[in-house]
Amino acid sequence: MGKAIGIDLGTTNSCAAIVENGKPRVITYKGGASTIPSVFAINEKGERLVGQDAKKQAQLNPTNTVAAAKRLIGRNFHSKTIEKIRQVFTYELVEGESSEVLVKVRDQVFTLEQISAAILRKIKEVAEEALGCEVDQAVITVPAYFNDRQRQAVRTAGKLASLKVLRVLNEPTAAALAYGLGRNLNQRIAVYDLGGGTFDISVIDIKGRIFEVVATGGDTFLGGVDFDDRVMQWVLETFLKSTGVDLSFDRVAVQRIRDAAEAAKIELSGAMRTRIHIPYIANGETGPLDIDVELTREKLEELTMDLVDRTIANVDRILREAGSSKAQIDEVLLVGGQSRMPLVQRKVTDFMGRPPSKGVHPDEAVGIGASIMAHSLAGASSTEEVTLLDVLPMPIGINKVDGSMHVLFPKNQPLPDYKTRTLTTSKDNQRSIMLRIYQGEATLCADNELLGTFVFSGIRPAPKGKVQIEVTFHIDSEGILNLTARDKGTGQTVESTLKLGKAGGVEVLSGSTVPTAAKKDETADEPAPPPMPLTMPTSGLASEFSAEAPVAPPAAEPPAIEPTALTPDEPSLEEVKPESIEPLPNASDAPTTPPENTGKTDVDPKSAQPKPETKAALVPEQGVWARFVAWLKGLIGGK
């Protein structure tokens, strides 16, 4: 069997780590670098490039270079954030059959899972070369504020990269592992994780080898790339004022400016001023034009002050949700490359009343923590097992008649957990029930993320109210939701299918291209629309309190049937046309305690949550956002 590693799959850079001889270390590659750029590209020769090779040619090939794909993974194409982010990214985004976001690179269309898999595969190859042995298992980290669909998409990416994903682990929790393991601590810490594309804040109790998350939150559209965008916008505006030339339509120029903005931002963490010089950026009336401007740290802080303030507002909110005062926080860990910014460190110090800890490396802590968890799950040593008690980052619920969300699992619910709801038919001989699953913090379902629609069909004919369907909602230690249903009267499993997006179907996307997007080429002979100016920074996309809401309405469905609820405040039941599906396992055959993938035990000692197995076990590929075939393989029982 191969080695198990930890992977920090980042928005801008990724890294991997391994535990050897009881000590974790970051895996390095060519030239001693510890990170790999999270970039994928296809050059003019048709060669696929990943990592540093892809980043090097980005300025000359921006439309065929995919960066920051992590921001798009698991998103709905019609969401407000995607509509705005399309104005920022230099590569082309297209819509899939199930309203997922696809990426078009040199006439080939890829899923975000495939792009992420290419990066993971590169990490795997680098690790195998450095270690001199096979790597076939990994713990992959994700932002704590990722929803079900995003988490399952990362699992799918790992599978496509030929990795057995031992666990999808929250990044702040991984950083806490790197900080606390082996130190026999008894502390409450706050992990402030400001990376390239996302921000997380988690309050975590550490007691020896037990790491218990008390509360978590964040913003999946707030990170280092937003700071880069602010500098890029300033350079574009400054150049326009001085020359009258608008470069926002020139994607090559924009990519060059973006790279220079990132470099200037990094330099200003140690200097008070820097020069942004980009020769021959455009042609003017008198000849070639250069960009040559000075950027000071003061100006950078002025441009990005509101972004840092958004993170502090999040910290304040999560402390309140944790029921914790600032004085009760023993240490504050800063994680993520953007946390190196002096303004960030100053704001955190002022808010918390103490300077942050220097106990972890901001770039390596997440990867190190993931490797510790991978080592524990792989069973390498029984003396090095760790216990993680995590929580749900956002509520999960189902729709009610009035359009509001009936919350099944509240935010910061200790994991794992499961609940059952008994639903009944609302009219005579009703054969199908449709149940939409949502995740988010808004009161109305329309303002939350639609994870998917479950259709329970093949219900036995009977007068209304005579058939009772028991639905079991099981959310595992990774925050991924699974459903089963049975007829309480007969004990038989009720057939179910998962529908995603407007098309109402789930198509398995395999290989390197996605033929389902061929419909986009039907108008290939029509004139191409003019390029869109790249003038909207991603930092204006979402606030820490906003929830993503789909723009396009769902496909037309039969009107909702007024339910006959067995318990108050039940969701709406809707009849839909039965589809060809395969059965889920009988709920009565499932173990009383849901299987978990936690290292040892994931039980909150202060709650009545069911106690999972203490042996590290692999969670099957299942969940609301899983690709249909992988999802069914993980759920199909012995019928």
Kindly state the tokens that stand for 564. Answer: 């006959």
Kindly state the tokens that stand for 394. Answer: 């956002």
Kindly report the number of other CB atoms within 10 A of residue 203's CB atom: 26
8 is catalytic: yes
496 SS3 class: strand
* Architecture of the CATH domain 396-519+549-599+616-635: Sandwich (2.60)
pLDDT of residue 83: 77
Nearby residues of 141 by Cβ (< 8 Å), 6 or more positions away: 6, 7, 8, 9, 168, 169, 170, 171, 174, 366, 367, 369, 370
601 pLDDT exceeds 70?
Answer: no
357-366, 479-488, 624-633, range with the lowest pLDDT: 624-633
The average pLDDT across 309-330 equals: 97
pLDDT of residue 426: 86
- Confidence band, pLDDT 50/70/90 cuts, at residue 425: confident
468 pLDDT exceeds 60?
Answer: yes
**Euclidean distance between CA atoms 114 and 91, whole angstroms:** 16
pLDDT of residue 342: 98
Q: What is the DSSP string of 379-416?
A: TS-GGG--EEE-B-SS-EEEE-TTSBEEEEE-TT-BSS
pLDDT of residue 199: 97
471 pLDDT exceeds 80?
Answer: yes
Q: Quick check: 570 and 423 in contact, CB under 8 A?
A: yes
pLDDT of residue 574: 37
User: Shortest CA distance to 456 belongs to which of 562, 557, 577?
Assistant: 577
User: Shortest CA distance to 441 belongs to which of 187, 108, 219?
Assistant: 219
Peptide bond into 416 cis (omega under 30): yes
Report in angstroms the alpha-carbon separations of 592 from 313, 539, 595: 41, 45, 9
Q: Which residues pair with 287 in a beta bridge?
A: 284
For the chain, give the mean pLDDT.
Answer: 81
Percent with pLDDT over 70 in the chain? 77
- Confidence band, pLDDT 50/70/90 cuts, at residue 99: confident
Nearby residues of 99 by Cβ (< 8 Å), 6 or more positions away: 76, 77, 78, 500, 501, 502, 503, 552
pLDDT 10s digits, 347-399:
999 999 999 998 899 999 999 999 999 999 987 655 567 899 999 999 999 98
pLDDT of residue 81: 74
pLDDT of residue 558: 37
Q: Which residue has the tokens 């009977």?
A: 462
Q: Which residue has the tokens 């808004």?
A: 442
pLDDT 10s digits, 176-204:
999 998 899 999 999 999 999 999 999 99
- Confidence band, pLDDT 50/70/90 cuts, at residue 121: very high
User: Shortest CA distance to 84 belongs to which of 570, 539, 562?
Assistant: 539
pLDDT greater at residue 161 or residue 386: 161
166-175, 317-326, 336-345, 384-393, range with the lowest pLDDT: 384-393
pLDDT of residue 224: 96
137-146, 309-318, 467-476, 550-559, range with the lowest pLDDT: 550-559
186-200, 400-414, 456-470, 530-544, range with the lowest pLDDT: 530-544
286 pLDDT exceeds 70?
Answer: yes
The CATH superfamily holding the domain 3-221+312-389 is ATPase, nucleotide binding domain (3.30.420.40)
Nearby residues of 605 by Cβ (< 8 Å), 6 or more positions away: none
**Euclidean distance between CA atoms 253 and 246, whole angstroms:** 10
Catalytic residue among 3, 8, 100, 122: 8
508 pLDDT exceeds 60?
Answer: no
pLDDT of residue 451: 87
**Euclidean distance between CA atoms 396 and 479, whole angstroms:** 10
- Confidence band, pLDDT 50/70/90 cuts, at residue 458: confident
pLDDT of residue 207: 96
Kindly state the tokens that stand for 271. Answer: 């200097």
pLDDT of residue 8: 98
Catalytic residue among 3, 70, 265, 600: 70
pLDDT greater at residue 377 or residue 452: 377
* Architecture of the CATH domain 224-303: Alpha-Beta Complex (3.90)
Nearby residues of 548 by Cβ (< 8 Å), 6 or more positions away: 75, 76, 79, 80, 81, 440, 448, 449, 542
497: left (phi over 0), alpha (psi -120 to 50) or beta: beta
pLDDT of residue 433: 87
Catalytic residue among 97, 100, 113, 171: 171
Kindly state the tokens that stand for 361. Answer: 């490396």
**Euclidean distance between CA atoms 157 and 120, whole angstroms:** 8
The average pLDDT across 423-440 equals: 89
**Euclidean distance between CA atoms 231 and 464, whole angstroms:** 62
523 pLDDT exceeds 50?
Answer: no
pLDDT of residue 500: 57
Kindly state the tokens that stand for 173. Answer: 């929790």
How far is C-alpha 89 from the geometric centre of its chain's CA atoms? 18
Q: Which residue has the tokens 């639905």?
A: 471
pTM, full prediction: 0.79
- Confidence band, pLDDT 50/70/90 cuts, at residue 539: very low
171 is catalytic: yes
Q: Where are the domains of the chain?
A: 3-221+312-389, 224-303, 396-519+549-599+616-635
Longest dimension (CA), the chain: 85
49-53, 339-343, 605-609, range with the lowest pLDDT: 605-609
pLDDT of residue 389: 95
User: Shortest CA distance to 69 belongs to which of 99, 27, 101, 94?
Assistant: 101
175 SS3 class: helix
How far is C-alpha 329 from the geometric centre of its chain's CA atoms? 27
Classify residue 631 by its DSSP letter: H
**Residue 613 burial by Cβ neighbours in a 10 Å radius (0-12, 13-18, 19+):** middle
User: Shortest CA distance to 139 belongs to which of 177, 181, 111, 191?
Assistant: 177
Catalytic residue among 97, 113, 193, 226: 193
Percent with pLDDT over 90 in the chain? 62
Strands 210-219 and 387-389: what pairing?
parallel
pLDDT of residue 515: 31
620 pLDDT exceeds 80?
Answer: no
Strands 417-424 and 405-409: what pairing?
unpaired
User: Shortest CA distance to 430 belongs to which of 339, 375, 349, 494?
Assistant: 494
